[in-house]
Amino acid sequence: MNQDLVKQSISSSLENKEAQTRWLLKPKPEVSKIEALSKALKIDHTISSLLVQRGIETYDTAKTFFRPKLSDLHNPFLMKDMEKAVARIEQAIANNENILVYGDYDVDGTTSVALMSSYLKTIHPNIATYIPDRYDEGYGVSYKGIDFAHDNDFSLIIALDCGIKAIDKVAYAKEKNIDFIICDHHRPGSKIPDAVAILDPKQSDCNYPYDELCGCGVGFKLIQALASKRDETIEDLIEYLDLVATAIGADIVPITGENRVLAYFGLQVINKNPRAGFKSIINQIKKETLTITDVVFIIGPRINAAGRMKHGQYAVDLLTETRLEQSEAIAKEIEAFNTNRRDTDKQITQEALQQIENNNEQNRFTNVVYNENWHKGVIGIVASRLIETYYKPTLVFTKSGDKLAASARSVTGFDVYDAIEACSEYIEQFGGHKYAAGLTLKEENYEAFKAKFEAVVSNTIEDHQRTPEINIDQQIDLNTIDDKLMRILKQFAPFGPGNRSPVFMTENLKDTGYGKCVGDDKSHLRITVTQDGTPKLVCIGFGLGNKLDLITNKKPFKAVYSIDENEWQGKVSLQLKLRDIK
């Protein structure tokens, strides 16, 4: 199939997907709760309804939400094995042992390693870092890494964002008299490694009050515990929160509870006093104030690009470098990796879509594609791109040594980790989360795995999970939207899972007659809307260019959107960021 036919097919699929997108209006909270909160906070019903939907029903919970405090963070010693972890590190320092800080090659892993190594170096000189090579060693703790530790006289490894399933590796290290402390946030298996301490709030017997920390968040709790033993306070650790906020955003963990506090203060560090590595990236993109969305789409991909295209150690070097001139040189290299990554994932996405089309697999319940030449560093991104076109649980495989490696991504509500686990008889190794996972298998098991995965998903996925959906917080009229509403909505940030940017729906809208498609490929929609003669608002709909016919000739329509600000020539104005129109 030639490129034009593939593009037509993709376009057709996207139009079909857009047409099917379901709008789900959240149930309106109890009127008595809305009114009580409106009275307590002296706010209107639009805002109080949004808060009640988020579980914020009292003055005190609203105060915690709008004014996060570092004192809201939990005592780190509530986490199982924290005392053991601190004691072992203190023993290593007292005995002048060499400590190896080991982490995964993605954003969460490299920020974790930067965080832990930076802090430990302030109290102990014998600290080194180790990031496994994505292609040579693969995900998580490796035998090669343990051999490196043994050959260089490291007697303690602190593993971050990995290790919860490294049972054989930890046993191998023990034979070489190397102890492990594991700081992970992935789901444990039925057995856990025989480590000195395992810090993972997802362990069933861990009573830590918040179990949605990312790997870097778990690492932060460990340095918080270490600091408390040295009469340091949480204020002494604020400088590390830029790393934690970046990991929270990039790892797509819920921005609720403790994560919200860490992200809130971490963003302040990024914007007011960033470390040299972040400053070097920010200088390149020339953006003044970064939101968590900017962290996810601007900083995160650049840090990730190091491990995807070259080696994750570049990211650690960038994030631990204190001299701006040196960090700018590393950031320049990483920018080149990121440009290469973008070109590579675009090409592989086209090839993967073509494979689905050629094999007539559009009607399957899953996307499972394989090419031995695809770049292992971008297959996770490609899996996400395929879901944008064919909305279904997706696995992208490539050759990795003598095995096949895959990245999995899922759709809203469907647990891809459980589905992969149900196919474990064909798998060598796997790990991950509900929505993102990775696995390896022998090439001779690929077709059997693909068939089993399709069968498992087809039997367990629910009909509503096969269609993209937009959750709408409220239906409002345009005259509700003003600068005051926007000021308060901005205080709902940082946004992310568990605290999404509020989404509204308005009916009986009309374009003023100047609606048009914009962008290089005319794929975006720019319109100016009014409702019953209300003041006009500009709307931008990314990827909605194919909906132009719905709004021409002043035909009435309804729209789903979030409220945004647009800055142009020094002037800031309100605009609607369209999610869909019907």
Question: 60-96 pLDDT, tens per residue?
Answer: 999 999 999 999 999 999 999 999 999 999 999 999 9
Could you tell me the pLDDT band of residue 14, with boundaries at 50, 70 and 90?
very low
Residue 12: the pLDDT is: 41
In CATH, 3-67+470-581 is 2.40.50.460: yes
Please check the confidence at residue 44 and state whether its pLDDT lies above 70.
yes
398-to-154, 285, 381 alpha-carbon distances in Å: 34, 32, 13
Please check the confidence at residue 570 and state whether its pLDDT lies above 80.
no
Is the distance from CB of 175 to CB of 182 less than 8 angstroms?
A: no
Average pLDDT, the chain: 92
DSSP H helices, 374-532, are 379-389, 416-421, 446-460, 483-490
* Spatial CB neighbours of 46, under 8 Å, sequence gap ≥ 6: 474, 476, 480, 485
Burial 5-33 (b: 16+ CB within 10 A, else e): ebeebbeebbeebbeeeeeeeeeebeeee
| Max CA pair span of the chain | 79
Average pLDDT rounded to a whole number, residues 303-316? 91
Average pLDDT rounded to a whole number, residues 345-355? 95
Residue 187: the pLDDT is: 87
**pLDDT tens digits, residue range 93-112?**
999 999 999 999 999 999 99
Of 225-239, 390-404, 533-547, the range with the lowest mean pLDDT is 533-547
- Residues for the chain: how many in total? 582
Domain residue spans of the chain: 3-67+470-581, 71-272, 359-466
Residue 285: the pLDDT is: 81
Displacement of CA 371 from its chain's centroid (Å): 26
The span from the CA of 29 to the CA of 57, in Å, is 10
Could you tell me the pLDDT band of residue 321, with boundaries at 50, 70 and 90?
very high
Residue 460: the pLDDT is: 96
Is the distance from CB of 514 to CB of 567 less than 8 angstroms?
A: no
Residue 15: the pLDDT is: 44
In this structure, is the dihedral angle defined by the CA atoms of residues 417, 422, 139 and 134, taken in order, positive or negative?
A: negative
Residue 431: the pLDDT is: 83
Please check the confidence at residue 13 and state whether its pLDDT lies above 60.
no
Q: 162: closest CA among 562, 359, 429, 548?
A: 429
The span from the CA of 476 to the CA of 403, in Å, is 54
Is the distance from CB of 459 to CB of 491 less than 8 angstroms?
A: no
The span from the CA of 71 to the CA of 127, in Å, is 30
**pLDDT tens digits, residue range 502-537?**
999 999 999 998 889 998 888 899 999 999 888 789
Please check the confidence at residue 440 and state whether its pLDDT lies above 60.
yes
List Cβ<8 Å contacts ≥24 apart for 462-467.
Answer: 462/413, 462/414, 464/22, 464/413, 465/411, 465/412, 465/413, 465/414, 466/365, 466/391, 466/392, 466/411, 467/20, 467/21, 467/22, 467/391
Please check the confidence at residue 18 and state whether its pLDDT lies above 60.
no
Residue 345: the pLDDT is: 92
Question: CATH number of the domain at 71-272, out of 3.40.109.10, 3.40.50.12240, 1.10.760.10, 3.90.1640.30?
Answer: 3.90.1640.30
**pLDDT tens digits, residue range 177-219?**
999 999 999 989 889 999 999 999 999 999 999 999 999 999 9
Better-predicted residue by pLDDT, 250 or 534: 250
Cross-strand bridge partners of residue 98: 154
Name the one residue in this structure whose structure tokens are 């209006």. 25
Please check the confidence at residue 252 and state whether its pLDDT lies above 90.
no
DSSP H helices, 467-539, are 483-490
Residue 488: the pLDDT is: 94
DSSP H helices, 178-290, are 215-228, 241-250, 257-272, 276-285
- Mean pLDDT is highest, among 230-244, 304-318, 510-524, for 230-244
Please check the confidence at residue 8 and state whether its pLDDT lies above 90.
no
Please check the confidence at residue 125 and state whether its pLDDT lies above 80.
yes
Please check the confidence at residue 225 and state whether its pLDDT lies above 70.
yes
Q: 200: closest CA among 451, 468, 482, 189?
A: 189
The span from the CA of 538 to the CA of 566, in Å, is 9
Cα dihedral value 407, 413, 414, 415, nearest 10: 70
- 220's tokens: 């932060």
Please check the confidence at residue 2 and state whether its pLDDT lies above 80.
no
Neighbouring C-alpha atoms within 13 Å toward the C-beta of 542? 2
| Phi–psi pair at 136, nearest 5 degrees | -85, -35
Residue 432: the pLDDT is: 81
296-to-249, 251, 388, 411, 494 alpha-carbon distances in Å: 5, 9, 18, 19, 12
The span from the CA of 11 to the CA of 4, in Å, is 10
Could you tell me the pLDDT band of residue 1, with boundaries at 50, 70 and 90?
very low
What is residue 411's DSSP assignment? -
What fold, for 359-466? Diaminopimelate Epimerase; Chain A, domain 1 (3.10.310)
Please check the confidence at residue 417 and state whether its pLDDT lies above 90.
yes
Please check the confidence at residue 9 and state whether its pLDDT lies above 50.
no
Please check the confidence at residue 16 and state whether its pLDDT lies above 50.
no
Could you tell me the pLDDT band of residue 6, with boundaries at 50, 70 and 90?
very low
Cis before 27? omega within 30: no
Average pLDDT rounded to a whole number, residues 433-457? 94
**CA-angle at 344, arms to 340 and 347, nearest 5°:** 145
The span from the CA of 506 to the CA of 556, in Å, is 11
Could you tell me the pLDDT band of residue 164, with boundaries at 50, 70 and 90?
very high
Report the predicted TM-score, pTM, of the whole model to 2 decimal places. 0.88
Going by their DSSP bridges, the two strands 127-130 and 98-103 should be labelled as parallel
